[in-house]
Amino acid sequence: MGRVYNFSAGPAVLPEEVLKEAAAEMLDYNGTGMSVMEMSHRSKAYQEILDTAEKDLRELVNIPDNYKVLFLQGGASQQFAMIPMNLMKNKVADYIITGQWAKKAYQEACIYGKANPVASSADETFSYIPDCSDLPISEDADYVYICENNTIYGTKFKTLPNTKGKTLVADVSSCFLSEPVDVTKYGVIYGGVQKNIGPAGVVIVIIREDLITEDTLPGTPTMLKYKTHADAGSLYNTPPAYGIYICGKVFQWLKKQGGLAAMKERNEEKAKILYDFLDESELFRGTVRKEDRSLMNVPFVTGREELDAKFVKEAKAAGFENLKGHRTVGGMRASIYNAMPKEGVEKLVAFMKKFEEENKENL
Ligand SMILES: *Cc1c(COP(=O)(O)O)cnc(C)c1O
């Protein structure tokens, strides 16, 4: 059995080159006689892996010197709590609710302070991004929170909200490193890496230094303070060492591809192939307002549940895996992250055309 085209939303496809390199180094990393999985996180060999990963990430994203890069655990979901625990000095924060992940982050923040839902697209099943040019931002808000790319619903902020001078915090789990970012517009950028960068178990936090303080909410555990990890260079305790090593390899792969500007171009090209087909198809249609469409997660439906199920089943048999939509929305979703080759999208569209031809009588 060869490799399939894996359209999973996460954990998701990784570059084949990276997997092969990791396989070749599995038993003996760089002459150490052991796997990266087996080495001390305090060893010179591992420190080099960590330092190189951070250096490459800084270069790729052009991260200014006054931002720290933290490699943490607990997934993106742990950040739902760490953010209010570390940033809610006034115990007030504004949340823009554009999907389930933003909603979960908002609900978590409600435990710690006054979280205000200042905008939402729940009225139309999160199929669009609300106008965020003039929101009722709270005067004493510690930050404004967004989920920049909504993995489940397939929407993406094309312009950042007007935070009226407040710190912007963004969950970028499913669009991390898919295009260039101006880090200076954010206080915190974070994401679980299992969507677009590496294996589950690592979350990367890019945080402006002035937001890292001792002044966290009372009772904040040591492990949940940004300061703990910033002061220790992400080595306060044993980090997700193997996962970081794979992330480092993906950073190098991205550099070889030409960096984030090149990735954006490619991602736009790939997404266009799929969206153009959805726009002209008589059987399939996209579910998201056109101007808010994600480059990474593309949900679509036939409009008939039995036909959706038939499509997912036949697609799987043809080597296109994980096209079933999220359990809460149904239909289909193709996640076409950085590591999905253009060929995978072209072949999927060819398969969809064939399916449409064969199922025309059901229209
Ligand atoms: C997957 C996902 C999460 C949750 O990630 P975990 O690492 O499982 O906690 C949060 N936010 C977004 C945008 C996601 O795509």
Please write the tens of the pLDDT for every residue from 66-89: 999 999 999 999 999 999 999 999
CATH number at residue 352: 3.90.1150.10
Q: Coil, strand or helix: which one is 188? A: strand
Cβ(171) to ligand 1 under 6 A?
Answer: yes
**Same-domain pairing of 328 and 183:** no
**Same-domain pairing of 350 and 223:** no
**Same-domain pairing of 277 and 301:** yes
Average pLDDT of the segment spanning 164-177: 98
Is residue 79 annotated as involved in ligand binding?
no
What is the chain's percent helix, strand, coil content, to nearest 5? 40, 15, 45
Q: Give distance in angstroms: CA of 195 to centre of ligand 1.
A: 8
**Same-domain pairing of 118 and 94:** yes
Atom in ligand 1 nearest the alpha carbon of residue 149: 13
Atom in ligand 1 nearest the alpha carbon of residue 203: 7
Cβ(147) to ligand 1 under 6 A?
Answer: yes
| % pLDDT > 90, the chain | 97
Q: Which of 8, 96, 101, 149 to mutate to test the pocket of ligand 1 (most atoms within 8 A of CB)?
A: 101
Domain end call among 213, 229, 256: 256
Residue 1 has pLDDT above 70, yes or no: no
Q: How many helices (H) and strands (E) does the chain have?
A: 9, 14
pLDDT digits (tens, 9 = 90+) for 26-50: 999 999 999 999 999 999 999 999 9
**Same-domain pairing of 69 and 40:** yes
Is residue 32 annotated as involved in ligand binding?
no
Residue nearest to atom 12 of ligand 1 (CA): 173
User: The whole model's pTM is what?
Assistant: 0.98
pLDDT in the model for residue 362 = 65
pLDDT in the model for residue 328 = 78
Cβ(154) to ligand 1 under 6 A?
Answer: no
Q: Give distance in angstroms: CA of 203 to centre of ligand 1.
A: 10
Q: Which of 72, 77, 129 to mutate to test the pocket of ligand 1 (most atoms within 8 A of CB)?
A: 77
**Same-domain pairing of 141 and 173:** yes
Average pLDDT of the segment spanning 312-339: 95
Is residue 287 annotated as involved in ligand binding?
no
Q: Give distance in angstroms: CA of 77 to centre of ligand 1.
A: 6
Residue nearest to atom 5 of ligand 1 (CA): 76
CA count, 13 A, side-chain hemisphere, 51: 7
H/E stretch holding 153 reads: none
Measured at the alpha carbon of residue 265, what is the angle toward residues 276 and 280, in degrees to the nearest 5?
0
**Same-domain pairing of 38 and 139:** yes
Domain of residue 322: give its range.
Answer: 5-13+258-362
**Same-domain pairing of 316 and 233:** no
**Same-domain pairing of 225 and 330:** no
H/E stretch holding 272 reads: helix 259-280
Average pLDDT of the segment spanning 105-121: 98
Residue 359 has pLDDT above 80, yes or no: yes
Return the residue matching tokens 């677009």: 196
Number of domains in the chain: 2
Cβ(98) to ligand 1 under 6 A?
Answer: no
Peptide bond into 11 cis (omega under 30): yes
Tell me which residues are annotated as active site.
101, 171, 195
Is residue 253 annotated as involved in ligand binding?
no
CA count, 13 A, side-chain hemisphere, 118: 25
**Same-domain pairing of 159 and 219:** yes
**Same-domain pairing of 189 and 335:** no
Domain end call among 210, 239, 256: 256
Q: What is the dihedral of CA 134, 137, 143, 145, to 10 degrees?
A: -60
Residue 340 has pLDDT above 90, yes or no: yes
Average pLDDT of the segment spanning 92-109: 98
Is residue 52 annotated as involved in ligand binding?
no
Average pLDDT of the segment spanning 252-281: 98
Q: Give distance in angstroms: CA of 173 to centre of ligand 1.
A: 6
Q: Taking all residues of the chain, what is their mean pLDDT, rounded to a whole number?
A: 97
pLDDT digits (tens, 9 = 90+) for 229-252: 999 999 999 999 999 999 999 999
Q: Give distance in angstroms: CA of 65 to centre of ligand 1.
A: 27
Q: Give distance in angstroms: CA of 109 to centre of ligand 1.
A: 16
CATH number at residue 188: 3.40.640.10
Cβ(176) to ligand 1 under 6 A?
Answer: no
**Same-domain pairing of 171 and 268:** no
Domain end call among 227, 256, 285: 256
Residue 144 has pLDDT above 90, yes or no: yes
Cβ(281) to ligand 1 under 6 A?
Answer: no
pLDDT digits (tens, 9 = 90+) for 180-214: 999 999 999 999 999 999 999 999 999 999 999 99
